[in-house]
Amino acid sequence: MGVGLPVDRLKPVGATRPKAGVVHLGLGAFFRAFGCVYIADAMAASGGDWGVVGVSLQSSRTADALRPQDWAYTSVSLGPNGEETRVIEVLNNVLVAPENPYAVLNAMADPNIKIVSLTVTEKGYCHNPATGRLNIAHPDIKHDLENETPKSAIGYLFRALQIRNNAQTPPFTVLTCDNLPENGKLVRGLVLEFAELIDPTFADWIKSECCFPSTMVDRITPATTDADIERVAKITGKFDAAPVMHEPFSQWAIEDNFVANTRPDFAAAGAEMVADVTAHEHMKLRMLNGTHSALAYTGYLAGHETIADTIADPVFAKFARALWAEIIPTVIAPNGVNLADYADALLARYRNPTIRHKTWQIAMDGSQKLPQRLLGTITENLESGRDNTALFLAVAAWMRYVSGSDELGRAIDVRDPMAATLHDVCQMHSTPSAKATALLSMREIFPQTLAEKLKSPIANAAEQIWERGARNAIQKETT
């Protein structure tokens, strides 16, 4: 604790705690700032035992921080005019999977658990982003096919459902909350692929009995810093080792498809329960996540630390508008939504100076994000003969970023499951256009048909990004 900070540790204030009804895989800042808040509001409105057992699939850091607080933590809404704090008390426990995988499986197999939700990021599904198929060569998947104690999220889902089936316990609903197109359908397909490799008969049970609703989630949640922890302590008078910082805005669209129709009263908490979430997903993935990634790569290369810093630069504000002009024709608006108004609202959210969402953080795992955030839009525009100038620059900026050095020759800490391969591919070629062509040959990211169409425009965009710098290239091409 810093000098002058309170010595009293945050503790729950509620007299009783609801029994667990949810296990959440991948308990990071986002779900604690988003899903746990909705669940808390749903129980406040309509009751129910929907406490959450969190699971960290890799690190004990979150569990270690929350344990002395009896799993309570502070949710901090960062509005332009100040902060609002709230203590969230829906967590009942946090398990660390590598330390005790059986504890995780036992929790998931508990008949009282009705939902297993996930925020494991795009790479956590161990799939091929270009095809949506399970990557059976992934080390965690190879391990899970050969062992009953899993490492991957897919392995945990399969083994826990297998235990429930063997015990004649109804399945849980699998509720993915990651930014993937038709995310529920995708995860269902991955679990079924995995099951077919082990027990095709059991795969039939999954097909007939299990539910995998798709969702669209939206709340900007920057990583919590030491400075945030100190500020929260000063505001609240309690030391919290694991607060979560987020914007005031929140949106959750959920396909209303749950086992035995059993779920928290999400609608009472403000979620949109819909028959088909596809329109919400595509709008958000392309208009928010697509521009977020584009601004992250170009903004980082131009020396901007956060999205707010980036969008405060008039060149990048115009770039965002140019991106939306190319993206909007590919988006079917959900009922009651005006896409131009949605873009305006996004721009206002990006400009929120209290949200320190770092370009470097958003730039992580680009090889997994590009297909759904940018390449789908580009493909549809090419098929319709529409302009892709700004989107081409975004892809070229990603290529410049993953080459491993910035415009001043400084090393970039590229966090990506394919980082080493991407770096090596770039190092094998001397010119920007050759680097771009080589990266386009990576089928894990770029389907062959699309890659052929992109060779010339992406090579040209890469030459612009490398030779002029990201900001100057954008200024020249989009104004």
User: Domain locations in the chain?
Assistant: 20-274, 278-478
Sequence-separated (6 or more) residues with CB below 8 Å from residue 169: 109, 111
Sequence-separated (6 or more) residues with CB below 8 Å from residue 56: 26, 27, 62, 63, 94, 95, 96, 97
337: closest CA among 218, 476, 179, 165? Answer: 218
Q: In tens digits, what is the pLDDT along the chain, a chain of 479 residues? A: 455 665 699 998 876 889 999 999 999 999 999 999 999 999 999 999 999 999 999 999 999 999 999 999 999 999 988 899 999 999 999 999 999 999 999 999 999 999 999 999 999 999 999 899 999 999 999 999 999 999 999 999 999 999 999 999 999 999 999 999 999 999 999 999 999 999 999 999 999 999 999 999 999 999 999 999 999 999 999 999 999 999 999 999 999 999 999 999 999 999 999 999 999 999 999 999 999 999 999 999 999 999 999 999 999 999 999 999 999 999 999 999 999 999 999 999 999 999 989 999 999 999 999 999 999 999 999 999 999 999 999 999 999 999 999 998 899 999 999 999 999 999 999 999 999 999 999 999 999 999 999 999 999 999 999 999 999 999 998 87
What is residue 21's predicted lDDT score, i.e. its pLDDT? Answer: 98
By the 8 A CB rule, do 246 and 77 touch? yes
CATH fold of 278-478? N-(1-d-carboxylethyl)-l-norvaline Dehydrogenase; domain 2 (1.10.1040)
Element containing residue 329 per DSSP (H, E): none
256: closest CA among 213, 218, 217, 216? Answer: 213
Full-model pTM: 0.92
CA atoms in the 13 A half-sphere facing the CB of 86: 17
Tokens for 298?
A: 């170009």
Instruction: Classify 467 in phi/psi space as left (phi over 0), alpha (psi -120 to 50) or beta.
Output: alpha
pLDDT tens-place string over residues 372-395: 999 999 999 999 999 999 999 999
The residues pairing with 86 across neighbouring beta strands, listed in sequence order, are 75
Q: Do domains 20-274 and 278-478 have the same CATH topology?
A: no
- Is it true that domain 20-274 has CATH number 3.40.50.720? yes
What is residue 1's predicted lDDT score, i.e. its pLDDT? Answer: 47
